[in-house]
Amino acid sequence: MTKQAKVAILGATGFTGEKLVEILLSHPNVEIVYLSSRTEAPIPYSKLFPRFKGKTTLNCEPLDVKKAIGLADILFLSLPHTVSMDFVPGVLKAGKRVVDLSADYRLNASLYEKYYKMTHKDVDNLKKAAYGSPELFKTKIEKALLVANPGCYPTSVILALYPLLKEGILENKIIVDSKSAITGAGRKAVIDYHYSNISNNIWAYKPFVHQHVPEMVEILKAATTVAMDLIFTPQVIGVEAGIYSTIYVSFKKAVSEETVSAVYKKYYKNCPFVRLMPALPKLKDVVGTNFCDIGFAIDEKKKNAVIASAIDNLIKGAAGQAVQNMNLMLGFSETTGLL
Amino acid sequence: MTKQAKVAILGATGFTGEKLVEILLSHPNVEIVYLSSRTEAPIPYSKLFPRFKGKTTLNCEPLDVKKAIGLADILFLSLPHTVSMDFVPGVLKAGKRVVDLSADYRLNASLYEKYYKMTHKDVDNLKKAAYGSPELFKTKIEKALLVANPGCYPTSVILALYPLLKEGILENKIIVDSKSAITGAGRKAVIDYHYSNISNNIWAYKPFVHQHVPEMVEILKAATTVAMDLIFTPQVIGVEAGIYSTIYVSFKKAVSEETVSAVYKKYYKNCPFVRLMPALPKLKDVVGTNFCDIGFAIDEKKKNAVIASAIDNLIKGAAGQAVQNMNLMLGFSETTGLL
Amino acid sequence: MTKQAKVAILGATGFTGEKLVEILLSHPNVEIVYLSSRTEAPIPYSKLFPRFKGKTTLNCEPLDVKKAIGLADILFLSLPHTVSMDFVPGVLKAGKRVVDLSADYRLNASLYEKYYKMTHKDVDNLKKAAYGSPELFKTKIEKALLVANPGCYPTSVILALYPLLKEGILENKIIVDSKSAITGAGRKAVIDYHYSNISNNIWAYKPFVHQHVPEMVEILKAATTVAMDLIFTPQVIGVEAGIYSTIYVSFKKAVSEETVSAVYKKYYKNCPFVRLMPALPKLKDVVGTNFCDIGFAIDEKKKNAVIASAIDNLIKGAAGQAVQNMNLMLGFSETTGLL
Amino acid sequence: MTKQAKVAILGATGFTGEKLVEILLSHPNVEIVYLSSRTEAPIPYSKLFPRFKGKTTLNCEPLDVKKAIGLADILFLSLPHTVSMDFVPGVLKAGKRVVDLSADYRLNASLYEKYYKMTHKDVDNLKKAAYGSPELFKTKIEKALLVANPGCYPTSVILALYPLLKEGILENKIIVDSKSAITGAGRKAVIDYHYSNISNNIWAYKPFVHQHVPEMVEILKAATTVAMDLIFTPQVIGVEAGIYSTIYVSFKKAVSEETVSAVYKKYYKNCPFVRLMPALPKLKDVVGTNFCDIGFAIDEKKKNAVIASAIDNLIKGAAGQAVQNMNLMLGFSETTGLL
């Protein structure tokens, strides 16, 4: 079978880039034609990551956007925040598609400036970008030339909350207590990520002010008329992969489990990667997959609920969702290469 | 130096019992004179736990309360819930002291019946028992013959909340998101505790209905006039030891960090095992110690706070706190054998 | 595309059975038609293992060999040792193929009796069984009706040693120091496999007498004329998956790295799942794959070598290799469903 | 009680330095009077390591040897290799004692140059230094002004082999397969020590040529007349602490278990930190302690043995043994502060 599309991955040696390579290598409809990193000279990708030996003979090359544009139909940008927006205009001008995994096209210009301390340089395309949450914005993504792939924490939180907010059954105060693998912070040689600091540890960081908060709030705000009051605490836990978000909500009036289940089913009945679980989920059931598992429990008074959602932070929270978006953009079946 | 007290540990082979042995063996003022477990015949403790080889030649014996009473001045009961109350009356009648690490003397009789599905058999002593939270009830513990050692989750939660509630600055709704090592569930051969189920995993369980909720609520209720609405979600994480509780509160009126710090300092200034940290704490800083580390952050509006408290679940959450209680009961310095 | 073969898995709830289900569900040429376990009534497999929700609607049923024979073309027996041989004769008589993952068809009858303390009940088929090491016995496996899938330790050891022994360049004394995930011991609720016993631990067990020794020796003996003196020490380490075997050999006369590399390449040039690495391998590069990575180093005198081989114990060491064998037996490409 | 000695720790922020602080803070006979690190200005030690909050108010200062000499009776040098020898002459000249935890005084000058690629700058003191293995060289250590604290791997290997070699019962070929926590490599921000590279991984490195080989060989050589042929393979495993050495030896003539046990008992009968275990040891039994656990098994022919020895790499393999040496040098009981 002829591969139907050619893809490039810019930034192929971060955790997310590596996961993109892994997924796309076994994707039946696409061929990877270009990989780049901060290397100074081309080097076999399997030399950088021996686990790819026997699976690809591709080289990883110094970043050359023009070359990538020349070779590929669609480019995955797995670059640091504030770098992507230097490249996106050129790629789109050349008529190629982009899935951007940085934060550059997720927030409006003023929030971007507030949280990333930099004026946005590509406001035109920012306005046109589709937010890459396929369960919520499928139609827009299918037509998009530029998709802003969601952040990892927002993915887990938005999928859990959107249906309930859209149905208007929640009070405005929402508490989100998220726990993530350290890989979400990128492949960096810092002492805080040393094995002995992560193993057997857990700690909360950036309370109230994490840069993913405006992303969650902006997307969720569109679903609701209440003035949401969302408190978010990210935490690092000693797992290799995954995000587990425990979310506390109250209902405007008493609801039954059946009602809440029905809401989720209404929104996700055609969503192959969201699973409504019969109980609070376990992180490990989604590790290595593109699933988002959601479960919930309601208290005696039927007024409060705890919702838990679990994803693999590098798959549904990054590379897997990016491929899901690509599938939609290129007209492939949504699950291709992901199940 | 002559050892000043003789201690017995009933139930010496659970995680908590083993930790008691470890701590008490190096306690300068006491001598362990009796260890029991479900064994059928006496067996060297270091044969059951080779790590004690060279540290003790004590035998672990089939449970014989009379023998323990005969030998010891104070008994630690590290027995299953509903078993302790069979033994406590006899021990007290013989004039010996008890630190009970089960839940049998923590709740009033009606709550006990509701959560442990059994009528309480020793209501007289239940009424006299001191709740073993030395930071809050030191005077009562010093005089007590029977101390009910707190549960692990309640220890981490009560210490974080008591001062703020007592000062009357909190709104009534409180969310507690706790994460615990699996050792809190006891040394049991069940498949859910298999290495491959715990490593790299996290899951929430018993939302709203965990048996530690009434314990927290009863103790905290005494500190406040508001009708507390406390939601508690326990979670298992893949760490060897520890509980990390992330707690969400709102203030009746805006407060500064200084105010909150001052409240904690007021209550804990003479408490050697509570440390107010300059930032949200890390679990690992308390593992292997009897400390409870507390940190907090306040949002922009100065109306909401996230508080995190960290303890070693088997030490400050069980055996360490039990020894701290013993120190007070026997007139030793509070920190003896624990720093 | 029509699935070309129907498969049954007997014993689908052990670690190996679960991995078989995972691999075969995404295998493009086969359809799982039957799953059994010790359940008393049929139960959805995804209820037993929630991670399969959305991936299969199959039930797991009480074991009924006749039903399995009736439905499937090939049966995977992932049953306890000494149980498989009760079923194999009937399956073969019905003209169906078998991949047996127990030890029942790996050893000759007298070794079997010595190590498994039971007289072999199916010596006829034992003699006809192919040893399922595709890199060594491909032709025999392609024609076999019954394949004895190798043990996990033997897979890692045999692949590392066979070429060197066959070329006759090794001295007879060989030391094998292997480290394995605890999953190799099966999904059992025993206290030794509790998270707190495995995490951060390592220990050696069954020195000299492990039941996998005769399996290694029998297969390797066929490659050599020297009277091998093989010492094997298995060890449990706190990893979720994998076996890492460090092997110490001496050469009859001095050899170069090039010579040794050439030997491995000669034997494995057409073997897609054996990778000769440029350095000593890392376990993690094979976890989640069917690869066996082999690396080696030679000392200054060119007389001694340390060889390390790494596999995923449940994949190349069990379920993956079983599927690789099935691929050969059914005439599929060797790598189908495994790359 | 008046503290009897004042100690300084130079290099107090590495893993070993931190462990020294921990042990010495609770040592009843000494007082820490000086801590240094690469800091530019004095900073509270508990600010660098919050776990020490409430346990010490000491500052960590920029390195000033003269100040340390002025304040302390004995200096622990936990400095990088090749740095210690710059300071040792001055310290000794000032009449102060030194326990050097680097490799600078472990090897003779020519081996030092070969393995550390630097001419030794303090050959005079090198010749006088005592090798700090208290079980073997107690008398010499008691009189020493300068003790070279052993390497972590050598500690585990030498203790397991010395008695058997000294008794002359071993063949000359010895295989040592060691597994270590990554903390042995020092607190360094390198990507190889990132949590995701260590967790669930194991790999062998520096086969045949590790710098600890000459240390083992030199010490063991003194015990034997045979020309030892020792092969050593270090391996990194995903544990927080510990070294587990699996050692393969052959006997000149058949021996019984009793004989081997008797040999170990002869040498270690007065050694409180060496435990001869009834079976192959488990790493976790020594973690957090200064013990070295040794166990062994002999094959059917009584000609080969596998010996396993386990230590905590930062305690018996570094800081604990250093304190044990200090105890001997200062005339304290050997176990003070360590049991």
> Chains with 3 or more CB pairs closer than 8 angstroms to C?
A, B, D
Q: Are residues C67 and C6 in contact, defined by beta-carbon separation less than 8 angstroms?
A: no
Residue D242 and residue A202: Cα distance in Å, rounded?
22
CB-CB under 8 Å, D272 with B54: yes
Tell me which residue of D111, D141, D140, D108 sits closest to D123, measured CA to CA: D108
Q: Are residues B117 and B95 in contact, defined by beta-carbon separation less than 8 angstroms?
A: no
> Chains with 3 or more CB pairs closer than 8 angstroms to A?
B, C, D
Q: What percentage of chain D has pLDDT greater than the value 90? A: 95
How many of the other CB atoms lie within 10 Å of CB of A331? 10
- Which of the residues C13, C18, C38, C196 would you substitute to probe the B interface, choosing the one with the greatest number of B C-beta atoms within 10 Å? C196
CB-CB under 8 Å, D26 with B50: no
Burial class (CB in 10 A: 0-12, 13-18, 19+), A335: middle
Rounded to the nearest 10°, the torsion over CA D326, D329, D333, D335 is: 30
The pLDDT score that the predictor gives to residue B39 is 83
The pLDDT score that the predictor gives to residue C87 is 97
DSSP conformation class of B107: S
Q: Are residues D242 and D287 in contact, defined by beta-carbon separation less than 8 angstroms?
A: yes
Average pLDDT (C308-326) is 98
Q: Are residues B107 and B215 in contact, defined by beta-carbon separation less than 8 angstroms?
A: yes
Burial state string for B56-74 with b = 16 or more CB within 10 A and e = fewer than 16: bebbbbebebeebbebbbb
The pLDDT score that the predictor gives to residue A2 is 57
From chain D, the residues in CB contact with C283 under 8 A are 200-203
CA distance C74 to chain A (A): 24
Minimum mean pLDDT among B88-92, B223-227, C74-78: which range? B223-227
Average pLDDT (B55-72) is 97
ipTM of the complex: 0.96
How many of the other CB atoms lie within 10 Å of CB of A185? 14
Say how many residues make up chain A. 339
CB-CB under 8 Å, C202 with D282: yes
Task: Look at residue D251 and tell me whether its pLDDT is greater than 90.
Answer: yes
How many of the other CB atoms lie within 10 Å of CB of C311? 35
Task: Look at residue C1 and tell me whether its pLDDT is greater than 60.
Answer: no
**pLDDT one-digit tens code per residue, B304-322:** 999 999 999 999 999 999 9
Average pLDDT (B99-122) is 96
Residue C321 tokens, joined: 């290799």
Q: Residue D293: phi, psi to the nearest 5? A: -95, 130
Active site residue C292: no
DSSP letters spanning C272-298: TTEEE-SSS-BGGGTTTSS-EEEEEEE
Task: Look at residue A168 and tell me whether its pLDDT is greater than 70.
Answer: yes
Q: Which of C204, C241, C299 sits opposite D208 (nearest CB)?
A: C299
> Chains with 3 or more CB pairs closer than 8 angstroms to B?
A, C, D
Q: Which residues of B are catalytic?
A: 152
CB-CB under 8 Å, B55 with D339: yes
Task: Look at residue A1 and tell me whether its pLDDT is greater than 50.
Answer: no
Residue of chain D minimizing CA distance to B269: D54
CB-CB under 8 Å, D244 with C299: no
Task: Look at residue B180 and tell me whether its pLDDT is greater than 50.
Answer: yes
Burial class (CB in 10 A: 0-12, 13-18, 19+), C287: buried
From chain C, the residues in CB contact with B198 under 8 A are 195, 199
Residue B59 tokens, joined: 């035998």
Residue A59 and residue C167: Cα distance in Å, rounded?
35
Residue A200 and residue D283: Cα distance in Å, rounded?
17
- Which of the residues C23, C51, C291, C315 would you substitute to probe the A interface, choosing the one with the greatest number of A C-beta atoms within 10 Å? C51
CB-CB under 8 Å, A190 with D191: no
Task: Look at residue B1 and tell me whether its pLDDT is greater than 60.
Answer: no
How many of the other CB atoms lie within 10 Å of CB of A256? 10
DSSP conformation class of D315: I
Q: Which of A183, A195, A238 sits opposite D193 (nearest CB)?
A: A195
Rounded to the nearest 10°, the torsion over CA B81, B317, D200, C311 is: -20
Q: From residue B87, give the alpha-carbon distance in Å to each of B21, B60, B66, B114.
A: 20, 18, 10, 22
Q: Which of A181, A183, A195 sits opposite D198 (nearest CB)?
A: A195
Scan for tokens 């969720």, then name that residue: A220
From chain C, the residues in CB contact with B187 under 8 A are 191, 194
From chain B, the residues in CB contact with D53 under 8 A are 275, 277, 285, 293
CB-CB under 8 Å, C233 with D204: no
- Which of the residues D156, D202, D228, D260 would you substitute to probe the C interface, choosing the one with the greatest number of C C-beta atoms within 10 Å? D202
From chain A, the residues in CB contact with D200 under 8 A are 240
Residue C322 and residue C316: Cα distance in Å, rounded?
8
> How is the beta sheet containing B304-311 ordered, strand by strand?
B202-204, B229-237, B173-180, B243-250, B304-311, B292-298, B274-276
**pLDDT one-digit tens code per residue, C161-190:** 999 999 999 999 999 999 999 999 999 999
Task: Look at residue C26 and tell me whether its pLDDT is greater than 60.
Answer: yes
- Residues of C with a Cβ under 8 Å from any B Cβ are 15, 181-183, 187-191, 193-200, 238, 240
Q: Which of B208, B241, B280 sits opposite A207 (nearest CB)?
A: B280
Q: What percentage of chain C has pLDDT greater than the value 90? A: 95
Q: How much of chain D is in helix, strand and coil states, percent to nearest 5?
A: 35, 25, 40
Rounded to the nearest 10°, the torsion over CA A243, A276, A26, A102 is: -40
Average pLDDT (D174-195) is 96
Residue D74 and residue D8: Cα distance in Å, rounded?
6
CA distance D283 to chain B (A): 10
CA distance C203 to chain D (A): 5
Tell me which residue of C182, C49, C21 sits closest to A286, measured CA to CA: C49
From chain D, the residues in CB contact with B272 under 8 A are 54
Residue C324 and residue C336: Cα distance in Å, rounded?
8
Q: What percentage of chain D has pLDDT greater than the value 70? A: 99
Residue of chain B minimizing CA distance to D53: B275
Tell me which residue of D51, D49, D21 sits closest to D35, measured CA to CA: D21
Scan for tokens 């092969």, then name that residue: D231
**pLDDT one-digit tens code per residue, A113-150:** 999 999 999 999 999 999 999 999 999 999 999 999 99
From chain B, the residues in CB contact with D54 under 8 A are 272, 275, 291
Q: Which of C179, C204, C300 sits opposite D306 (nearest CB)?
A: C204
Contacts of D141 (CB under 8 A, 6+ apart): D130, D132, D134, D147, D325, D328, D329
Q: Are residues C302 and C318 in contact, defined by beta-carbon separation less than 8 angstroms?
A: no
Q: Which long-range contacts (CB under 8 A, 24 or more apart) does A295-300 make?
A: A296/A257, A296/A260, A297/B207, A297/B208, A298/A255, A298/A256, A298/A257, A298/A260, A299/B207, A299/B208, A299/B231, A300/B208
Q: Which long-range contacts (CB under 8 A, 24 or more apart) does A106-110 make?
A: A106/A131, A106/A148, A106/A150, A106/A151, A106/A154, A106/A215, A107/A214, A107/A215, A107/A218, A108/A218
The pLDDT score that the predictor gives to residue D39 is 83
Residue of chain B minimizing CA distance to C191: B189
Q: Are residues D267 and D166 in contact, defined by beta-carbon separation less than 8 angstroms?
A: yes
Backbone CA torsion sign across B150, B151, B152, B156: negative
CA-based max dimension of chain C: 64
Q: What percentage of chain B has pLDDT greater than the value 90? A: 95
Residue B240 and residue B182: Cα distance in Å, rounded?
7
CB-CB under 8 Å, B55 with D272: no
**Which residues sit opposite A282 in a β-bridge?**
B203
CB-CB under 8 Å, C195 with B199: yes
Average pLDDT (A84-95) is 97
Residue B80 and residue B102: Cα distance in Å, rounded?
6
Average pLDDT (D264-282) is 98
Residue C213 and residue C219: Cα distance in Å, rounded?
10
**Angular region, D115: left φ>0, alpha ψ -120 to 50, beta rest:** alpha
**pLDDT one-digit tens code per residue, D9-51:** 999 999 999 999 999 999 999 999 999 998 889 999 999 999 9
Q: Residue B96: phi, psi to the nearest 5? A: -100, 155
- Residues of D with a Cβ under 8 Å from any B Cβ are 26, 50-51, 53-55, 272, 275, 277, 281-282, 284-286, 288-289, 291, 293, 339
From chain C, the residues in CB contact with A339 under 8 A are 26, 55
Task: Look at residue D1 and tell me whether its pLDDT is greater than 50.
Answer: no
DSSP letters spanning B67-86: HHHHH-SEEEE---TTTHHH
The pLDDT score that the predictor gives to residue C86 is 96
CB-CB under 8 Å, A54 with C275: yes
- Which of the residues B229, B237, B293 would you substitute to probe the A interface, choosing the one with the greatest number of A C-beta atoms within 10 Å? B237
- Residues of A with a Cβ under 8 Å from any D Cβ are 15, 181-183, 187-191, 193-200, 238, 240
From chain B, the residues in CB contact with A242 under 8 A are 200, 202
Query: What is the helix (H) or strand (E) element at residue D138, kind and residue range?
Result: helix D134-143
How many C-D residue pairs are in contact by the CB < 8 A criterion? Answer: 116
The pLDDT score that the predictor gives to residue D3 is 72
Antiparallel, parallel or unpaired: β C43-44 and C59-62: antiparallel
The pLDDT score that the predictor gives to residue C2 is 57
Task: Look at residue C83 and tell me whether its pLDDT is greater than 90.
Answer: yes
Q: Are residues C181 and C237 in contact, defined by beta-carbon separation less than 8 angstroms?
A: yes
CB-CB under 8 Å, B241 with A282: no
Contacts of B147 (CB under 8 A, 6+ apart): B98, B99, B100, B129, B130, B131, B132, B141, B322, B325, B329
**pLDDT one-digit tens code per residue, C256-283:** 999 999 999 999 999 999 999 999 999 9
Tell me which residue of B63, B62, B69 sits closest to B93, measured CA to CA: B69
The pLDDT score that the predictor gives to residue B227 is 85
**pLDDT one-digit tens code per residue, A235-291:** 999 999 999 999 999 999 999 999 999 999 999 999 999 999 999 999 999 999 999
Reported as a pLDDT band with limits 50, 70 and 90, residue A39 is: confident
From chain D, the residues in CB contact with C235 under 8 A are 244, 246
Tell me which residue of C326, C273, C316 sits closest to C9, measured CA to CA: C326
Antiparallel, parallel or unpaired: β A173-180 and A274-276: unpaired
Inter-axis angle of helices C320-329 and C15-25, nearest 10: 50
Rounded to the nearest 10°, the torsion over CA B33, B315, B145, B222 is: -170
Q: Which of D175, D201, D203 sits opposite C280 (nearest CB)?
A: D203
Residue D286 and residue D275: Cα distance in Å, rounded?
10
From chain D, the residues in CB contact with B289 under 8 A are 51
CB-CB under 8 Å, A288 with C50: no
Residue B149 and residue B168: Cα distance in Å, rounded?
26
Within chain C, how many helices (H) and strands (E) appear?
12, 15
